Amino acid sequence: TPLDLKSMQVFKGLIHTSLQSEIVSDLRDVVREAPVFSPMTPYGKPMSVRMTSAGRFGWVSDRHGYRYSETHPDGAPWPLIPERILNIWDTVAPLARKPECCLVNFYGEDAKMGMHQDRDESDFEQPVVSISLGDEALFRVGNATRGGKTESIWLQSGDVVVMSGAARLLYHGIDRVKYGSSQLLPKSGRINLTMRVVT
Ligand code: MD3
Ligand code: FE
């Protein structure tokens, strides 16, 4: 049974440790085909989070700004979203369309993600599903406009968050990672998978 935080659904510990490890090995295959990169912020500074994607679309950023692209910065199409990751979408969002993007974010020791909205998709009726792996992270959720009261929760390895309805357009971000808090990954750090319908 999910915990409701500002109408987002948090499924604590939905993914058991053996499935988490299998997903990490699926991600090694994804990264071999689509190497991680440090996207540039619009200010010309690299983001502290490194990323890659799977699915029809991936998230890229360059001098034109942030956008979805059907190709990796190296020009190749993105790898398919691994079946085990699609199965989690189907479990928590059975009525939704299929995800067209699985963004893979890598957080090292000092990585964070500033407060933002996910609003580059064309259908906000479709949910966003997030999977946390590895070190725990302090997740903050605010409101549909910038500012106002926020709530924070620690996201741990195996937690799944579903943003739909009123939650879909809330500002959110990652304040910090408790580096070394999980044994899942050989080198510590956190991986977040964010699946979305883009078109
Ligand atoms: C709330 N990622 O990639 S996941 C992102 O942990 C992103 O890497 C964070 O925000 C991360 O855009 C947070 C949880 C999440 C994902 C999507 C959301 C929260 C959301 C969409 C709408 C509202
Ligand atoms: Fe986001």
CA–CA distance, 36 with 117 (Å, rounded to integer): 23
Q: How many domains does the chain have?
A: 1
pLDDT tier at 5, thresholds 50, 70, 90: low
Q: Which residue has a Cα nearest atom 19 of ligand 1?
A: 172
Structure tokens at 134: 């590895």
Quick one: DSSP state of residue 112? -
Check whether 1 has a pLDDT greater than 90: no
**Cβ pair 170, 143 in contact under 8 A:** yes
Q: Kindly tell me if the per-residue pLDDT of 7 is higher than 80.
A: no
What pTM was estimated for this model as a whole?
0.95
Residues of the domain holding 93: 3-196
Residue 119, annotated as binding a ligand: no
ipTM of the complex: 0.94
166 neighbors 137 (Cβ within 8 angstroms): no
Cα separation, 188 vs 190, whole angstroms: 7
Which CA distances in Å does 190 have to 45, 74, 111, 155? Answer: 21, 24, 9, 10
Query: Domain with 12 in it: what CATH number?
Result: 2.60.120.590
Average pLDDT, the chain: 94
- Mutating to test ligand 1, I would choose from 89, 172, 174 the residue with most ligand atoms within 8 A of its C-beta, which is 172
At 103, give phi and psi (nearest 5°).
Answer: -80, 135
- Quote the tokens at residue 35: 């190497």
